[in-house]
Structure 1
Amino acid sequence: MHCNLSAIAKEESRTIDIYMLLNTEILKKDSSSVIQFTAHASIKADPALRVVEIASGNPEEMTVVFEALHNLEPRGYVVGWIIAISLLVGILIFLLLAVLLWKLGFFRRRYKEIIEAEKNRKENEDSWDWAQKNQ
């Protein structure tokens, strides 16, 4: 592509915009998620235009590289690993919580204490007499 620019005044600049259309169907067939596009551009000053100087810091040739992020969906095996690891971590947290509550006595049944307290109460009721019988 060639762009012919008309006369440019001193300290004036021009911008050339290039638009690129991509066929996304072709990109979907590719397995990578990032594609780099490279565009090379060069400038040539016509000596007949009496160009005295090309601005310093701006090279006569320039390469522009940009990336197209077209497929940001994770792969199937990545999703499977995320599910498996989160499931294992959840089970591990559940077991840790259950062991902690067990050690603190949350699941302890006090049936023996209740049965012995009932026996003691019945024995005390049977043996207790409000009136003395020998009077």
Structure 2
Amino acid sequence: MLLDNMVTVAVPLKYEIDLNTHGFVTPASFVYGTNENEASATCMEENINFTFHVINAGPSMAPNINLELMIPNAFPPHDFKLFNVMDIKTTVGECSYKEYPRNCSAAEKTGNILKDVVTFFSKPAKRQMYCMKNDSLCLQIHCKLGNMENGKEVIIQLHLEATPSLLEMDDASTLKFEVRATASPEKNAKVIELQKDKQVAYVYLEGVHHQKPKYRVTVLIIGIGLIAGITLFLLLSLLLWKIGFFKRQYKPVPQDMNRRDSWSFTSGNKDD
């Protein structure tokens, strides 16, 4: 007879998680383009506010959740920053990113009026901005949210400002920024992700060009139009002179010989 027996049974523990990620931005669009009336270019006064929600809708706890934000932040091949990070807050955990100095001064540009004219007439209607995997030209923000119980929600708020490098762009009529937010658990064989497609959210920010040409472009277009008009007028005048339009003799219109003589009235005394 055996007494005080103990049996240890190892039960493998697995986590079934169902992360839902969604977000939005305010304002959803902004106006950009060169403003030559201002003495110096500055950053946009109104902040661009992103809000992201991560919810654990699965039946069990989601361990060690991370959130990655990818924001297009440069026009290749240049590395001028398009956005400055003003603030980032999260209800749980902490967020980090590679910091860089806040810059609200416009980069020096070499003036080329012919290039400006070509750009004005040939700029594409829309330019799509998006991030590749581990894209160095994108602003990458990583948030560690920790363990998320079933039904728990985490809110991340991000405040950006547009730099002059973005506000003075003239390369497209519309810019569309694709901001990607991806929630994922730490690599673990015990974690089962039920719906991975819901873990990724896309938020779109649109910039609309004011469609006002630069002053020197306007002057050049008007000047070319005047020169072309005067040249066309002189060529037309020369052509008419060559065919003798200005050498014709004036011929009076012949009078009608058969018309009735006009009545003449004379005043006099009647004989009684």
Structure 2 length-normalised TM: 0.27
Structure ranking higher on relative contact order (CA contacts 8 Å, 6+ apart)? 2
Greater share of helix? 1
